[in-house]
Amino acid sequence: MAEQTLREWLLTDTPTSRRHAKVSAFYQGWLSFRANTMAMIGLGILLALVLIAAAAPFLAPHDPFAQDLGNRLAPLGAEGHIFGTDSLGRDILSRLIYGARITLYIVALVALIAPVVGLLMGTVSGYVGGWVDIVLMRITDIFLAFPRLVLALAFVAALGAGIENAVIAISLTAWPPYARIARAETLTIRSSDYISAIQLQGAGGLRIITKHIWPLCISSLIVRVTLDMAGIILAAAGLGFLGLGAQPPSPEWGAMISEGRRFILDHWWVATMPGLAIFTVSLAFNLLGDGLRDVLDPKAGE
Amino acid sequence: MNTFAKLLTGAAIGLAVSVTSFSAMAETPANMLVIAHRIDDVTTIDPAESFEFAGSDISRNVYNRLVSLDPNDLAAGYKPDLAESWDVSDDGKTITFTMREGVTFHSGNPVTAEDAAFSLQRAVILNKTPAFILTQFGFTPENAAETIRADGNKLMITTDKRYATSFILNCLTATIGAVVDKETVMANEVDGDMGNEWLKTNSAGSGPYKLDSWKPNESVTLSSNPDYYGGAPTMERVIVRHVIESASQRLLLERGDIDIARNLNPEDVAGASQVDGVKIEDELKGRLMYLALNQKHPELSKPEVRQAFKYLIDYEGMRDSFLKGQYTIHQNFLPATYLGASEENPFSYNIEKAKELLAAAGVENLEVEIGVREAQERIEIGQSFQNAAAQAGIKVNITVGTAKQILARYRARELDVYLGAWGPDYPDPQTNAGTFAFNPDNSDAAQATGLLAWRNSWDTGGLTEKVEAAVVENDREARIQMYQDIQAEFRETSPFVIMFQQIEQSALRDNVTDWSTGQAVTSAAYWQVTK
Amino acid sequence: MALIEDNGKGRARASLPPWIQTAFLTIGSIAMTMLGLLFVTFIIGRVMPIDPVLAIVGERASQSTYDAVFLELGLDKPLIVQFAYYIWDVLHLDFGTSLLNARPVAEDIARVFPATLELATLGIFFGIVFGVPLGVVAAARKGSWIDQLARVLALVGYSMPIFWLGLMGLLIFYGILGWVGGPGRVGIFYVDVVPSVTGLILVDAALDGNWDVFKDAFSHIILPASLLGYYSLAYISRMTRSFMLEQLSAEYITTARVKGMSEWDVIWKHAFRNIRVQLITVIALSYATLLEGSVLTEIIFSWPGIGSYITTALLSADMNAVLGGTVVVGLIFILLNIFSDLLYKVFDPRAK
């Protein structure tokens, strides 16, 4: 199929099959997304992050763990260390590059856990209703009423410090809003004629939830997750800052800021470089989230 | 929109103007001493219970003891305080103190031998954390009334056997030796607690300062006692403000909002020392930084492995970099300046030597967990050690946790390796000898959780008896030699890798004189400070 | 964020007036949520690998001292019994004493909460004063430079680690420029100068007529409050903008414009009037977040507030303090939620 016809096929007003319609809708979404420069910048930064993380061993000029106490706290632009060195004489640039892996790991895990839990709670609560709804929503309220960082801290303290536990703790504090959203969507969808029709055909609750409600909730969840990612990265960095995230000598960015904050007055770059890295990635997620919202969920945005 | 833009600019300018009017360089009032310090460890200020650094600072300035140390001459050792003089009986078991006349408590009540007896009995009966400092002499809640008694202006204490007199008197200089106002304390007794609940947050002393307020994690305010028997202190008000961040403390000091910053890290000390009007004072403290190897671990209990670890510490590299100015190399359990302290530091950073020792022990692919408290310098020491160990083929996993988390596992004998700090409890060699090299019952059932040797399941290889002998030796020179011998053996055989001794660096405004944090032997004193 | 869902089921069978039912339901659900909150906190406290006894007695304690405290705390009793005791005490407004500093927890909270309240209130004030007009103008002039500025401000606010910005702010405005007061609530020699009536230093100083203290306290609070204000500004301005856009595209606005109403009146008298309720919900939520205590800001500015109080207590296993703090913070959160729900019910035309 020639390029021209592929484009036409994708942009058709009269899809020939359900799949055709889906692909076409996706392509049109992509086109409007692509027109959003800011969102594309965000996407670009995140793709770069993935590439950097994947190619870390080739990109990093030094071993991120190699110590050199004789050459500690080297300034920006020092010989062989563009971003300087930290308190133990480790190359900051190399640590940032390897730290990208940890950031991605955190993001990926939280993005897998929290929305899924929220989706499950929210849709079940919304679809089944009655006592189940009351109980599940009270549980959601309880978690919402907790101060978030305190809850995360409590879980990390209970489970022990470490990156996996930090992820679990953050996920535990992140799911209630998703449950709320999923429930609200479910309530609207449940009362629609479309669901009633399926119910009349004899479909079971489980089938309706997984096959018909979930797909409809997902787009608003994706938007919300993307917008929350920045908050999640910052929360992980906050835990790292308090010494409860990744364990040394892991080059987690929040922990790097925490290590570097002691020198903030005389060697400001040690804390600032990872601070900028966190800022850039958070910003990228925010830009992407804004763009996605415009495409997937126009009514929520503007 | 234009209106709004104007509004915004107007507000911003107004804010900037109102805020700049504060910019004048501050200076603290002449009669007030303002200190930035971390005081989050203060949990109680009852001297029978208080056992943390910042809490001891309060007690030292609020209470007097029978004997105490002079902040201007700490090397002289204990001097008369509320006790004017003392006599030791012929059998060496009873000491009779003669009380100083005419001293009054802040309440106006006179200080009597009865108050002194009550204070010591109370500490023994309450049996709080620091009680062991007294109970090691055989005092028990049951016999306290007979072993500690007042008669007129004399106070008599009788120990269960003969100890070095200096050992007993050194112990009485500790916080737990503080003399409290019996009448005031007992007036606040609740349910037979001997005033413990009340004294946790209030004071009843005779010292140079009275406690005005203690707000946990916020501040401690003291005001001078004009009737202090040693003369009213120059600084009429002392405020200790809780400031966690070193950078914040330094900014406060450089701007003249405080007189003394006590928790600056090496980089901030270096930075602050460049500033006009700021000076740095070093004091050698008693705190030691060490690694402890759990002897329950099959590999770590091999003598060669214990030795190998002592060569895996980059002593000089760390001292000259991130510990710069704040720690000195010290490889013995008695801190420098203590009676019997040793200057021998035979171990150096030597990966090859460590590898040889490990090979000789037949150890390969060793992987251990090290517990580290959540404090930046310790995390860095841990990482430096991890790096060195990796070069010798040992994989070290660092677990960082809050003090209480890591400590609980250490006390339960669960950690492979612990990176710890130990500060002496009273200025006598027994304080460290009795924990590093003393462990009469190494079984799990003994639950001697207070002893470092027990926590690491180390039976001390015969040092326990030598420590017991040294503590009752009354001949000073002989006692020194005994501690020298114990430490020589300890260095080679123990599972403790003692690395550093702390130097406390205080950063002061340059008009502050006679500041003392108490060196290795006691806590900070404020009454002799002038500016 | 409707906390109480009125699904209409209860209405048919009961004979009580609906507002009483609603009141009962509301109180019941607060009680349930609070109980759950306490239970979760309690469980966390018990499974935490921090030994509360050790937290009290310290490293050197002998075993007999340890055992005595263990019994004193009632740790030998079954978990559920311990929890029941705790609830019983809380119902009598007794939060127990802090394990670590021996003071009644209620007293501690009464001391630290005003610090947070003062900071959060000033922070949300900045957030509203700057955030709402910014959002309105950004919506009215969509695509203009001010819209772009609002967007950038918000994005930066969402993306910046607060502890880093705080440290840098302290360095620049206090350390270098000396424009503002340093860490803490007041300069050290103003500590305890004015009598504590409300616990809010600005208010106490004003009541006492001591304007030196007021000025000093203001110079200390301005930086952390601006920082928190900036973060709420980011959120409030974004939400205002999107609410406004929704209104401005509505038909009645077009009608008003056609009728020749001035742009100022269209925006402020019509569109803005209609977003007030939504806006208050957003602000209430934002305020609730600030009232939880921004732990990191409080640490950096040595601000003795509830956030750092709970955190410190948590890390040293002072469970009475953690529970007490969580109850207070949770209650505020729930009450603010209910408050905005009520606003919705009363004012939102669609809810009627």
Instruction: Answer yes or no: is pLDDT of B433 > 70.
Output: yes
Backbone conformation region of residue C166, classed left if phi is above 0, alpha if psi is from -120 to 50, else beta: alpha
Averaged pLDDT for residues B425-431: 91
CB contact under 8 A, B322 and A88: yes
Q: How confident is the model at residue B514 (pLDDT cuts 50, 70, 90)?
A: very high
Within 124-153 of C, beta carbons closer than 8 Å to A belong to 142
> For chain A, what's the residue count?
302
CB contact under 8 A, B248 and C302: yes
Q: Which of C50, C60, C192 is closest, CB to CB, to B408? A: C50
Within 35-54 of B, beta carbons closer than 8 Å to A belong to none
Which is more confident, B486 or C144?
B486
Q: How confident is the model at residue C10 (pLDDT cuts 50, 70, 90)?
A: very low
pLDDT of residue A301: 40
Within 171-190 of C, beta carbons closer than 8 Å to A belong to 171, 175
CB pairs under 8 A between B and C: 174
Nearest-neighbour CA in chain B from C183: distance (Å)? 7
ipTM: 0.74
Contact in structure between A119 and A221 (CB atoms under 8 Å): yes
How far is C-alpha C107 from the geometric centre of its chain's CA atoms?
A: 19
pLDDT of residue B384: 93
Q: Chain A residue with minimal CA distance to C171?
A: A265
Q: Which residues of C touch B216 (CB under 8 A)?
A: 98, 100-101, 103, 108
- Of the candidates C313, B92, B140, the one whose C-alpha atom is nearest the C-alpha of residue A150 is C313
Q: Which of C40, C242, C296 is closest, CB to CB, to A241? A: C296
pLDDT tens, position by position, A24-47: 877 877 887 787 888 889 999 999
pLDDT-above-70 percentage for chain B: 95
Neighbours of chain C (3+ CB pairs under 8 A): A, B
Instruction: Answer yes or no: is pLDDT of C44 > 80.
Output: no
Helix axes A214-241, A163-190, angle to 10 degrees: 150
Q: How confident is the model at residue C15 (pLDDT cuts 50, 70, 90)?
A: low
pLDDT of residue A11: 77
Q: From CA B516, how far away is CA A67, in angstroms rounded?
A: 37
Which is more confident, A256 or A35?
A256
Q: From CA B262, how far away is CA B528, in angstroms rounded?
A: 17
Q: Does any CB of chain A come closer than 8 Å to the CB of residue C55?
A: no
Averaged pLDDT for residues A158-182: 83
pLDDT of residue A214: 82
Averaged pLDDT for residues B217-228: 91
Lowest mean pLDDT among A74-83, B478-487, C334-343: C334-343
Neighbours of chain B (3+ CB pairs under 8 A): A, C
Averaged pLDDT for residues C258-272: 82
Distances (CA, A) of B358 to A279, B56, B381, B386, B389: 46, 44, 22, 16, 11
Q: Which of C293, C296, C334 is closest, CB to CB, to A145? A: C334
Instruction: Answer yes or no: is pLDDT of A71 > 50.
Output: yes
Instruction: Answer yes or no: is pLDDT of B18 > 50.
Output: no
Written as six digits, the tokens of B356 are 């040889």
Q: Which of A70, A248, A261 is closest, CB to CB, to B398? A: A248
Q: Which of C5, C33, C245 is closest, CB to CB, to A302? A: C245
pLDDT tens, position by position, A171-219: 888 888 888 888 888 887 877 777 778 877 877 777 888 777 888 778 7
Lowest mean pLDDT among A70-84, B48-62, B393-407: B393-407
Which is more confident, B45 or C195?
B45
CB contact under 8 A, B314 and A69: yes
Which is more confident, B180 or C313?
B180
What is the 3 state secondary structure string of chain A?
CCHHHHHHHHCCCCCCCHHHHHHHHHHHHHHHHHCCHHHHHHHHHHHHHHHHHHCHHHHCCCCCCCCCHHHCCCCCCECCECCCECCCCCEHHHHHHHHHHHHHHHHHHHHHHHHHHHHHHHHHHHHHCHHHHHHHHHHHHHHHHCCHHHHHHHHHHHHCCCHHHHHHHHHHHHHHHHHHHHHHHHHHHHCCHHHHHHHHCCCCHHHHHHHHHHHHHHHHHHHHHHHHHHHHHHHHHHHHHCCCCCCCCCCCHHHHHHHHHHHCCCCCHHHHHHHHHHHHHHHHHHHHHHHHHHHHCHHHHC
Domain boundaries, chain A: 46-66+76-301
pLDDT of residue C96: 79
User: At CB < 8 Å, which residues of chain A contact B?
Assistant: 65, 67, 69-70, 72-73, 87-89, 157, 160-161, 243, 247-249, 259, 261-267
Averaged pLDDT for residues A142-149: 75
Q: From CA B436, how far away is CA B453, in angstroms rounded?
A: 5
Averaged pLDDT for residues C300-324: 81
Prediction pTM value: 0.81
Pairing assessment for the beta strands B83-88 and B367-373 based on DSSP bridges: unpaired
Identify from C35, C147, C151, C155 which residue to disrupt to test chain A contact, counting A C-beta atoms within 10 A and taking the largest count: C155
Q: Which residues of A touch B397 (CB under 8 A)?
A: 247
Averaged pLDDT for residues A232-247: 78
Q: How confident is the model at residue C131 (pLDDT cuts 50, 70, 90)?
A: very high
Instruction: Answer yes or no: is pLDDT of C193 > 80.
Output: no
Q: Which residues of C touch B443 (CB under 8 A)?
A: none
Q: Which residues of A touch C167 (CB under 8 A)?
A: 261, 264, 271
Place of tokens 């001697």: B448
Q: How confident is the model at residue C99 (pLDDT cuts 50, 70, 90)?
A: confident
Q: From CA B47, how far away is CA B301, in angstroms rounded?
A: 40
CATH class of A46-66+76-301: mainly alpha
pLDDT tens, position by position, B444-458: 888 888 889 999 999
- What's the one-letter identity of residue B141? P
pLDDT of residue B9: 44
Instruction: Answer yes or no: is pLDDT of B382 > 90.
Output: yes
Nearest-neighbour CA in chain A from B381: distance (Å)? 10
Q: How confident is the model at residue B399 (pLDDT cuts 50, 70, 90)?
A: confident
Identify from C38, C159, C160, C315 which residue to disrupt to test chain A contact, counting A C-beta atoms within 10 A and taking the largest count: C159
Q: Which residues of C touch B132 (CB under 8 A)?
A: 60, 62
pLDDT of residue B320: 92
Please tell me which of B135-139, B249-253, C152-156, C172-176 the model is most confident about, judged by mean pLDDT: B135-139
Which residues have a Cβ under 8 Å from the Cβ of A108 and sit 6 or more positions away?
A: none
